[in-house]
A and B are shown apart, each in its own frame.
Chain A
Amino acid sequence: MTSELSRRAFLTRTGLIGCSLAASPLITPVSFAQTPWDNRLVVIILRGGMDGLDAVQPYGDPALRGLRGTLSGGPENGALDLDGYFAMHPALAPLMPMWQAQQLAFVHAVSTPYRDKRSHFDGQDLLEAGTADLADGVRDGWLNRMLQSVPGVHAQTAYAIGRSDMRLLQGDAEVANWSPGSNLRLSPQAVRLMEVITESDPAMFAALTEARLLSEASLEAPERGVPGHVQLAEFAAQQLSKEARIAAFSLNGWDTHRNQINTLPRALTTLAETLVALRDKMRGNTWRKTAVIAMTEFGRTARQNGTQGTDHGTGGVMVLAGGAIRGGRVYGDWPGLGDGTLYENRDLMPTGDVRAHTAWIMQGLTGLNRATIEGSIFPGVDMGDNPGLLL
């Protein structure tokens, strides 16, 4: 596998493949480089606005019951106590062993700088852009900016996986886009002809070239009957156990406006299975060097709405997993839910910045300096003191 890619790089450098391929931006003349760090980072975007107050229930807060008649029922209703104040939603039960092994943590009452409009689409854009606002549009994602600041990164280092758009990894640095089962199977003749006809269209040409490289790289076919999110996680784990150092993908289904007691468990189960699959499929001691960050564009209203669900809010929860995480704790500065503590008398008050916590994890895993992180990766972030999320 390594040798296959080196061989291609060698062929390109010596001009033995047609110049059209050599001109592709994805195949640089640099040979297969070592990445400067060995740790792994997985970023999962939870699209739809996960209800942090139901995923990690602050049952110890006396104001909770008055805000939620039927949701976030606490340990009395099957939630799993974490630390005497917070309890995990019952659907996250498969993660209990990870919590007990101190490889799972939560950060509560955090948000991005996004306020007030509570639009999924803008909220996700801002989450993935990592900027303070969207005044300049989304030019690239923070994860891509991280890659740009590190020399020697190439297309196999970072993967955006799955079928949906990952703005997080869009930008100038090379990233591989893939989903399991996507292998391109063409005869050599057909490959050559495809190159001929798409040469004039750089975007198409690049995508097809990448498809061929990735087909060659991914040897393992997905099993039938395995759910999509587990396939994604297993693929990510496979690649991270090899050359990849970064993977990003998204999980949908968090927008629980209605009947949350039935709709949220599905999404939580998906998340739990995804994290378990990541851990189980990593080889050797890769998991011990891994940090997974699951983040969402905003939390949801503190009160439940008229249809047994919740509406878009502000403060929410980040989920952290992996052997590199100092787990077994609920981090964050809990503001309370009582009178006068809610944001706009409606949402959980955010007391921390999603970006700051992510920045500290990034700093700890990669050794990038704080000035670079605060200056270009998360422009305008105030990292503050190290919250100690990593071992």
Chain B
Amino acid sequence: MLQFDSQLAEIRFGYGLSPNISGPSSPTALLDGLRGADEIAARFPIEPFSVFRQRMVAVQEQYMIRRKNRGTEEAGEARKQRNLLNKDARIAMFESLGQTMLRRTHTQTAFRERLVAFWADHFTAHGKRGVARRATSPYIEDAIRPNLTGNFAQLLQAAVMHPLMLDYLDQIRSLGPNSIRAGKMGPSKSPGLNENLAREVLELHTLGVNGPYSQEDVTQLAELFTGMSFQPQNGFKFRKDFVEPGAETVLGKTYPDVENIEPIRAVLADLAAHPATMRHLAEKLAVHFISDNPDADLVDRIAAALVASGGELMAAYEALVTHPAAWTPTLMNYKPPIDFMSSALRSMGVPEAAFKDLEEKDYRQMFASHLSIMGQRWELPNGPDGWSEDDENWITPQGLTARVRWSMGVPARLMGNALPDPRDFVEIALGRHGNDAVRFAASAAESKSEAIGLVLMSPPFQRR
């Protein structure tokens, strides 16, 4: 008998309770939300990568002008232009932070936003230098968001073959040692393979570190991946002159010696369909949504659903939200910093107007600098394995101190006079998970902002 609870659905599978939006009425409704139109993305748009690319083109143009006119006034002007373009992109990055917060605050389908964040973390990618460093949200719009509800193979292909991933994991300059380009460059430049993407595809994205692959598979996959590259003007580009000639064998299957992306798509589809991949994904979903030590049967069911459906993500989500373990009333997982902030904003119903006219320094003072001390810098992951799921990693003296400081200062700044009455706020933010200790604290605090801060710092708000 499922202990389904509408509030728990919002807390555990969404971004917490909202003063204006009620949660789904059943697990079916929770899933149905994913099949509906993506209204919130239209309401709070974020620049897709196809548009972001133009920024890279513009920067490259200025670079070419500088190169051709070194030492002249034109070069100086080009440098200024480039700096303006970089600044623009940086501001856009902060604005996407705002849009992300607004989406999570106002969406009727918070489960979708959680899944976007989950898969974006699973497929962590970050630009290496220049404006590319600001391309994360655009990448998520293009590669992750449209592929949440189809087959995992589709999502895998979209993410792994995306220009930002190719940049992040060094695929762009990986050349087959016997490729045409390597031949032209000559041995003194030592051109050749870079294994980074191949390794992380096997270790992080699909089979998992304990999966049945060897160093030889990594190398073969790296050879198979050669050719994948990117140009700002055109996006993804397959470079035949980068391709390592010859067939490659990965996990015992041989992929033909052709100079196009078909073998790459094929190997990714095969990796997606591997039972070890499905187990790996099931574990990640259970850990992320339920608990650091998830119920073994829950993991088994999700894995089985993926196997039975041939990798359909909706089947996995259904297995997740229809399992009794998903509805354990005790709140477990500790919210990581960005999710904590998102749920705080949602609990107050922070209006769109609060983000209008925000400047870069406002984003830094209200969000970015705090996230930094909390240990989760905005769009600056520690590595391709994304953010830690381990509660212990976040429940540290410095992490909690930073949350206290944020909780007692920033809501007042965002809401001004509209900061809710703390006694009402306990009920709105915590619902059935409120307790007497929090109610007491909310009414005994010396100021409204301190009281709000205490509610936000309470264990039932910090966990999900």
Interface centre among B193, B391, B401, B445 (most CB of A within 10 A): B401
**Listed stretches B130-138, B277-285, B380-388; interface member:** B380-388
Check B397–A311 contact: CB distance below 8 A: no
- Which residues A298-314 have CB closer than 8 A to chain B? 304-309, 311-312
Q: Which residues on A sit within 8 Å (CB–CB) of B177?
A: 306
Q: Which residues on A sit within 8 Å (CB–CB) of B215?
A: 116, 118, 344
Residue of B nearest to A189 (CB): B446
Say whether B62 faces chain A, with CB atoms less than 8 Å apart. Answer: no
Interface centre among B190, B191, B375, B402 (most CB of A within 10 A): B190
CB distance from A208 to the nearest CB of B (A): 5
Q: Which residues on A sit within 8 Å (CB–CB) of B392?
A: 165, 170, 203
The answer to whether residues A194 and B404 also contact, given A207-B397, A257-B196 and a CB cut-off of 8 A, is yes
A side interface size, CB within 8 A: 55
The answer to whether residues A177 and B192 also contact, given A164-B382, A189-B446, A312-B199 and a CB cut-off of 8 A, is no
- Which residues A162-211 have CB closer than 8 A to chain B? 163-165, 170, 176-179, 181-187, 189-190, 193-194, 196-201, 203-204, 207-208, 210-211
The answer to whether residues A181 and B373 also contact, given A117-B209, A119-B209, A258-B173 and a CB cut-off of 8 A, is yes
The answer to whether residues A198 and B458 also contact, given A305-B195, A306-B174, A312-B199 and a CB cut-off of 8 A, is yes
Q: Which residues on B sit within 8 Å (CB–CB) of A190?
A: 408, 445-446, 450, 454
Check A193–B194 contact: CB distance below 8 A: no
The answer to whether residues A311 and B195 also contact, given A178-B398, A198-B458 and a CB cut-off of 8 A, is yes
Q: Which residues on A sit within 8 Å (CB–CB) of B445?
A: 189-190, 193
Q: Which residues on B sit within 8 Å (CB–CB) of A185?
A: 405
Check A306–B182 contact: CB distance below 8 A: yes
Residue of B nearest to A119 (CB): B209
Interface residues of chain B: helix, strand, loop or mixed (majority): helix
A176 to B398, CA, bound (A): 10
Task: Indicate which residue in B173, B383, B450 contacts A306 across the interface (CB closer than 8 Å).
Answer: B173
Say whether B107 faces chain A, with CB atoms less than 8 Å apart. Answer: no
CB distance from A167 to the nearest CB of B (A): 9
The answer to whether residues A258 and B170 also contact, given A306-B175, A306-B177 and a CB cut-off of 8 A, is yes
Say whether B221 faces chain A, with CB atoms less than 8 Å apart. Answer: no
Check B398–A165 contact: CB distance below 8 A: no
- Which residues B16-46 have CB closer than 8 A to chain A? none
- Which residues A62-111 have CB closer than 8 A to chain B? 69-70
Q: Which residues on A sit within 8 Å (CB–CB) of B234?
A: none
Check A193–B444 contact: CB distance below 8 A: yes
- Which residues A6-60 have CB closer than 8 A to chain B? none
**Listed stretches B114-122, B249-257, B432-440; interface member:** B432-440
CB distance from A194 to the nearest CB of B (A): 7
Residue of A nearest to B192 (CB): A306
Task: Indicate which residue in B382, B399, B408 contacts A252 across the interface (CB closer than 8 Å).
Answer: B382
Say whether B400 faces chain A, with CB atoms less than 8 Å apart. Answer: yes
Check B401–A204 contact: CB distance below 8 A: no
Check A204–B459 contact: CB distance below 8 A: yes
The answer to whether residues A69 and B194 also contact, given A122-B209, A211-B400, A214-B397 and a CB cut-off of 8 A, is no
CB distance from B396 to the nearest CB of A (A): 5
Say whether B187 faces chain A, with CB atoms less than 8 Å apart. Answer: yes
Residue of B nearest to A212 (CB): B397
The answer to whether residues A304 and B190 also contact, given A120-B383, A190-B445, A194-B404 and a CB cut-off of 8 A, is yes
1/0 per residue B430-464: CB within 8 Å of A? Answer: 00000101101100111000100010011100110
A211 to B391, CA, bound (A): 17
The answer to whether residues A309 and B194 also contact, given A69-B189, A197-B438 and a CB cut-off of 8 A, is yes
What bracket does the count of chain B residues touching chain A fall in? 35 or more
CB distance from B46 to the nearest CB of A (A): 27
A195 to B80, CA, bound (A): 53
Q: Which residues on A sit within 8 Å (CB–CB) of B170?
A: 257-258, 307, 309
Check B396–A207 contact: CB distance below 8 A: yes
Residue of A nearest to B398 (CB): A182
- Which residues B227-260 have CB closer than 8 A to chain A? none
Say whether B188 faces chain A, with CB atoms less than 8 Å apart. Answer: yes
CB distance from A186 to the nearest CB of B (A): 7
Interface centre among A120, A176, A186, A190 (most CB of B within 10 A): A190
Q: Which residues on B sit within 8 Å (CB–CB) of A210?
A: 397
Say whether B390 faces chain A, with CB atoms less than 8 Å apart. Answer: yes
A207 to B392, CA, bound (A): 10
A194 to B445, CA, bound (A): 10
Check B400–A197 contact: CB distance below 8 A: no
Check B191–A306 contact: CB distance below 8 A: yes
Q: Which residues on A sit within 8 Å (CB–CB) of B182?
A: 306
Say whether B69 faces chain A, with CB atoms less than 8 Å apart. Answer: no
CB distance from A105 to the nearest CB of B (A): 30
Q: Which residues on A sit within 8 Å (CB–CB) of B438?
A: 197
CB distance from B368 to the nearest CB of A (A): 14
Say whether B203 faces chain A, with CB atoms less than 8 Å apart. Answer: yes
Check A69–B391 contact: CB distance below 8 A: no
CB distance from B164 to the nearest CB of A (A): 15
Say whether B393 faces chain A, with CB atoms less than 8 Å apart. Answer: yes
The answer to whether residues A200 and B459 also contact, given A119-B209, A193-B445, A257-B196 and a CB cut-off of 8 A, is yes
A30 to B11, CA, bound (A): 41
- Which residues B385-425 have CB closer than 8 A to chain A? 385, 388, 390-393, 395-402, 404-405, 408
Q: Which residues on A sit within 8 Å (CB–CB) of B398?
A: 163, 177-179, 182, 211
Q: Which residues on A sit within 8 Å (CB–CB) of B440?
A: 196
Check B188–A69 contact: CB distance below 8 A: yes
A387 to B405, CA, bound (A): 49
Check B400–A69 contact: CB distance below 8 A: no
CB distance from A275 to the nearest CB of B (A): 23
Interface centre among B203, B400, B437, B454 (most CB of A within 10 A): B400
Check A164–B396 contact: CB distance below 8 A: no
Q: Which residues on A sit within 8 Å (CB–CB) of B382?
A: 164, 252
CB distance from B347 to the nearest CB of A (A): 16
Interface residues of A (CB under 8 A from B): 69-70, 116-122, 163-165, 170, 176-179, 181-187, 189-190, 193-194, 196-201, 203-204, 207-208, 210-211, 214-215, 252, 255, 257-258, 304-309, 311-312, 344
Query: What are the 5 A-B residue pairs with the smallest beta carbon separation, nearest first?
Result: A306-B192, A211-B397, A201-B459, A69-B190, A182-B398
Can you offer 22 A-B residue contacts whose CB atoms are under 8 A?
Answer: A70-B189, A118-B199, A121-B383, A163-B372, A178-B398, A182-B397, A182-B402, A186-B404, A190-B450, A193-B454, A196-B437, A198-B457, A201-B462, A203-B395, A207-B396, A210-B397, A211-B401, A215-B401, A257-B170, A305-B192, A306-B191, A307-B170
Other than A181-B373, A190-B408, give 16 A-B pairs with Cβ distance below 8 A: A70-B189, A177-B396, A193-B445, A194-B404, A196-B437, A199-B437, A200-B435, A203-B391, A204-B400, A207-B397, A258-B194, A258-B196, A305-B192, A305-B193, A306-B182, A311-B196
